[in-house]
Structure 1
C-alpha cells in the first residue's frame, strides 16, 4: 500500500512589504475583503540557524510531463506505488472542456507513458487550480481518482454548482470505470475543496466543504439555508463500489479553504479544515483536526493545531495537509495569517490528534501571503515538506487574489525535530499553480505547474 499523501491547490499573487490583501472565494458567496496591517504591528522576520538540504545533488533536473497552451492551470498531483512506479495526474483544457489525464513512469520520472484520460464523460471536470484531483492506489492494481465537476446554475455563486466525482481503474491506470457521483441519492448540495485518502486496508475516505441547495420554482438550484453547511465525510470499504451516507463533521467551517484527510491501517482517520470561531470582524479562522479511532465511523470534537488567533473575515484558500508515519504519529503543515506569527508551520501529534507539538516555523516574515505547503513521510519516517514562496514575485503589489500565480518552490526534511531546508528552489522558472509531494519505495517526487502552463516533476532517491 502506498503511503498516505497530502495535496492541495492554489494560485497566488504576492508582494513583499504590502499592507493589504484582497480575497476572492469560489462558491461561498463571500465578497472581496481588504484587511489592513498597520506598520507598527508587523512582526519581525524570524531568523533561525537552519541546516541546508542539497537539492542540486539529490533531486533530478525538472522533467516536463505535459504542456498546455491555454491558461488551464493543470493542477498536478503525484503518488508513488510500492514498486516505485510514479503516477502523475493533471488537468488540461481544450475547446473550453477540461479533462483529467494520467501519466506514469517506471524509471524514476525520467520518461513518462502516453496520457490516459481519467474521466469518461468529456469535459466533466471543474477547472480549478486550487484543488487538484486526488489520486490514491490500492494493493492490486487499483487506481482511485476523485475530483469536482461543475454545471451552470444562475442562482449559485458565480453560476457554478459542483458535485464530487469518483472513478477507479482496475488495471493499473490503463482504463477507467464509469464515474459515480458522491451523495447522488441524498439531498442536493454543492461539494468543493475536496480530498481523498486510502487506509492500510483499502478503505477510501473522503471529506469536503458542503453547501446545501434546493431546487426553486424556476427549476434552478439555490442555497438551502435551512440546512447546515460545513465539512462532510464519507467512506467506502468495497473499493469505491458504494459509499456510506455522508455525514456532517462541523458546521462552522471557512467556506473556501481546503479540506484535507489522512488515514492509516490502525483505525485512525483524520480530517483537517479551517474552522470559524466567533463572528463578525473579530472572528478567528484557525486550523483544526478532527480524529476518528474507529475507522471513520465516529469523529471526536475538532482540536486546534495551534491557537494562532488568525482574526480574519474572509478566505485564504489554503488548508492543513497531513501525513501519518509508521508508528502512528500524525504530521501536519499549515498557513496562518495571524499578525504576530504570519507564515507556514509544521507540528505533530502522538496522541491521535488530541494535542500537537509546538509549531516549527517553516516560512515566516513581515509579509507572507497565503500559499500552499505540502507534506509526506518516506519509508524511513523522514518528514518531507514542500511549499510555494511568492514573496516579492507579485504582478499586483496591493492585493492577494486567486490567479496569476508566481512562486518559487522549496523543499525540506524534518529529522529529529530539526528542519533541514533546501537553499535553492527546485523549479527553474516561476511556478504558476500548486505543488504536490509524495514518497514511497525510496523515492520522493514533487510536481508543479509553471507559468508557461507546463507540468513539471523532479524526483530524488532517499
Structure 2
C-alpha cells in the first residue's frame, strides 16, 4: 500500500462559549444549541497522519432504494460470515414509515426485492439520528430493533416512543410479529437505542429511558419521581423473551446515541454521553460501562477521555464500539471541547477500565457534531467512516438534523497508525447518518443522499 506521510497543522481554538440555536429533541425536552466558537489566539499542534495517495478503495456506490415521497434517513448494514450483505432502510409514504430489508449475494452489486420488516403498517418512528439496528444469528436468524412513535399531547413535541424488536427465522424472507421491550414494566419512553449480539447468540440492548406515567386524563406525562437515564436488557433465547430492564446510569445526556458491543467471552459494553455537574458549567463526556459476566452486572462508567466538553444541550452523537479477536475494545467519538474539538479513536485492552491516548480523526477550529462509525475486519484491522459537514449547509456555524449534509470519509487503523483515504466515498452530499460493517473479506458502508436515495459501497479488504 503506497502512502504519503504528511503533517497536518490543526489550529486548536479556545472558545468563549457554545450557545444558542435550536433543535428540539423529541423525547428529552432539551434544546440543542451550538454555534461556532469565538476564536482567540490559536495554538497550532502537529499531528502525523498517513494519507492514501490513491483514489478511495471503495467502488462507485449502488442505489439500494429511491423515494420521491419523503426522506429515507438512517439506513443500516450488516454482513454475514458467508459474505451476504443485509441492508435496512426506511421509507415514508402517506405519513406512514416502514422498515425494509434487502440482501445481496454478489458483494453488493445487485440486491433482492425488499421485504417489509414491521408487520404493523407505519409502526416506525422516522428519525435520521438513530438507525434501526440489525444483527444476525448462526442459523438464519435476522434480528431487528427500532423505535416507534405514537402521539401523546403532553410529551415533548407530542411524541411517545417505544422500543420494538422482531426476528426472522428464514434469513430475512419473513418476519415474526414484533414485541415491545419492557411492555410489562412501568411506563417509559425509549429512544436512541442500540442492539448487539455476542458469539453465543445473546442479544444485548441499551437505550435512553424517560419514565412516564398516565395522568388523570388518560394521557402520558413525565414521571419525575423515577430516574431517567441509560437502561439495558438482554435475551438468551433468540429474542423470544427479554430480561427485566435495568438502569445503568441516571445521569446521561438525554438525546445522544447509546451504543453497545459484546463478544463471546462474557464482555458486554455500553457507551453513552454522561452528564457531570449541572448548570452552564456541566460537562458531557463519553463513558463506557463494562460487564464481564454477560450483562448480569455492570461496573461504574469510565471516561474514554477527559475531554471536558462543557455544554448544556445535546449534540445527538454517541461512541460506537467494536471488539477484535483478542478482546480489545475499539471506540470512536465526537467531542465539542473548545481545545480539542473533533472526532477521535481510542482502544482498551483491560475490558474498558482504561483507554489509550486519543488518536485524532478529524479536528479543526470548528468541527460540526456529525457521526463516526467503526468496524473490525477479519484481519483485526479497524475501519472508520465519518461524516464531515464542515462548510456544508448550516453546519458552517451551527448544527441541526434537518439541514444535515456531509461528505463521507474512511480510514483504517493499522499497527497504531491512522491511514486515511484522501477522497470521500459519496458522489453528492450525504443527507443522513452513515453505517459500516465488515465480514468475510468485505467492508460495506451505507448512507442516504440528498435526493432521498439509499446508497451502498462495498470494498474487498
Check 1:45–1:423 CA distance in 2 against 1; reply closer, same or farther (3 A cut).
farther
Q: Which has the higher contact order (CA 8 A, sep 6+)?
A: 1
SS in 1 for 2:339: helix
Q: Give the Å deviation of 1:388.
A: 0.1
| Alpha-carbon distance between aligned partners in 1 of 2:366 and 2:225, rounded to the nearest angstrom | 40
1:283-311 C-alpha deviation (Å, 9 max, x unpaired): 00000000000000000000000000000
For the 8 Å contact 1:6–1:262, the answer to whether it is kept is no
Aligned-residue Cα RMSD (Å) equals 5.1
Q: Give the Å deviation of 1:244.
A: 0.1
SS in 1 for 2:11: coil
Q: Which moved more, 1:357-366 or 1:400-409?
A: 400-409
1:217-296 to 2 correspondence within 5 Å? Answer: 217-296=216-295
| Alpha-carbon distance between aligned partners in 1 of 2:93 and 2:7, rounded to the nearest angstrom | 25
1:120-168 C-alpha deviation (Å, 9 max, x unpaired): 0000000000100000000000000000000000000000000000000
1:320-371 C-alpha deviation (Å, 9 max, x unpaired): 0000000000000000000000000000000000000000000000000110
| Alpha-carbon distance between aligned partners in 2 of 1:7 and 1:213, rounded to the nearest angstrom | 52
For the 8 Å contact 1:382–1:415, the answer to whether it is kept is yes
Q: Give the Å deviation of 1:228.
A: 0.3
| Alpha-carbon distance between aligned partners in 2 of 1:18 and 1:232, rounded to the nearest angstrom | 29
Give structure 1 regions of 4+ aligned residues with deviation exceeding 6 angstroms.
1-20
Check 1:12–1:79 CA distance in 2 against 1; reply closer, same or farther (3 A cut).
farther
For the 8 Å contact 1:9–1:75, the answer to whether it is kept is no
Q: Which moved more, 1:34-43 or 1:433-442?
A: 34-43
Q: Give the Å deviation of 1:402.
A: 1.9
| Alpha-carbon distance between aligned partners in 1 of 2:16 and 2:63, rounded to the nearest angstrom | 30
Check 1:218–1:335 CA distance in 2 against 1; reply closer, same or farther (3 A cut).
same
Check 1:374–1:11 CA distance in 2 against 1; reply closer, same or farther (3 A cut).
farther
Check 1:416–1:28 CA distance in 2 against 1; reply closer, same or farther (3 A cut).
same
SS in 2 for 1:158: helix
Q: Give the Å deviation of 1:38.
A: 5.1
Give the gaps of 5 or more residues in structure 2.
Answer: none
Check 1:330–1:10 CA distance in 2 against 1; reply closer, same or farther (3 A cut).
farther
| Alpha-carbon distance between aligned partners in 1 of 2:322 and 2:138, rounded to the nearest angstrom | 19
SS in 2 for 1:432: strand
Check 1:55–1:172 CA distance in 2 against 1; reply closer, same or farther (3 A cut).
farther
SS in 1 for 2:43: coil
For the 8 Å contact 2:12–2:42, the answer to whether it is kept is no
Q: Which moved more, 1:36-45 or 1:326-335?
A: 36-45
Paired residues in the alignment total 461
TM-score scaled by length of structure 2:
0.94
| Alpha-carbon distance between aligned partners in 2 of 1:56 and 1:385, rounded to the nearest angstrom | 17
SS in 1 for 2:44: coil
For the 8 Å contact 1:6–1:375, the answer to whether it is kept is no
Q: Give the Å deviation of 1:13.
A: 21
SS in 1 for 2:434: strand
Q: Give the Å deviation of 1:403.
A: 1.0
| Alpha-carbon distance between aligned partners in 2 of 1:11 and 1:108, rounded to the nearest angstrom | 41
Q: Give the Å deviation of 1:405.
A: 1.4
For the 8 Å contact 2:2–2:52, the answer to whether it is kept is no
TM-score scaled by length of structure 1:
0.94
For the 8 Å contact 1:12–1:404, the answer to whether it is kept is no
Check 1:213–1:458 CA distance in 2 against 1; reply closer, same or farther (3 A cut).
same
For the 8 Å contact 2:202–2:238, the answer to whether it is kept is yes
| Alpha-carbon distance between aligned partners in 1 of 2:2 and 2:422, rounded to the nearest angstrom | 29
Q: Give the Å deviation of 1:18.
A: 11
| Alpha-carbon distance between aligned partners in 2 of 1:7 and 1:184, rounded to the nearest angstrom | 54
For the 8 Å contact 2:56–2:424, the answer to whether it is kept is no
SS in 2 for 1:296: coil
Give the gaps of 5 or more residues in structure 1.
Answer: none
Check 1:172–1:402 CA distance in 2 against 1; reply closer, same or farther (3 A cut).
same
SS in 1 for 2:39: helix
Q: Give the Å deviation of 1:59.
A: 1.4
Q: Which moved more, 1:397-406 or 1:435-444?
A: 397-406
| Alpha-carbon distance between aligned partners in 2 of 1:461 and 1:360, rounded to the nearest angstrom | 25
Could you say which residue in structure 1 is the equivalent of 2:6?
6
Could you say which residue in structure 2 is the equivalent of 1:191?
190
Q: Which moved more, 1:387-396 or 1:329-338?
A: 387-396
Q: Give the Å deviation of 1:68.
A: 1.2
| Alpha-carbon distance between aligned partners in 1 of 2:269 and 2:139, rounded to the nearest angstrom | 25
| Alpha-carbon distance between aligned partners in 1 of 2:395 and 2:371, rounded to the nearest angstrom | 19
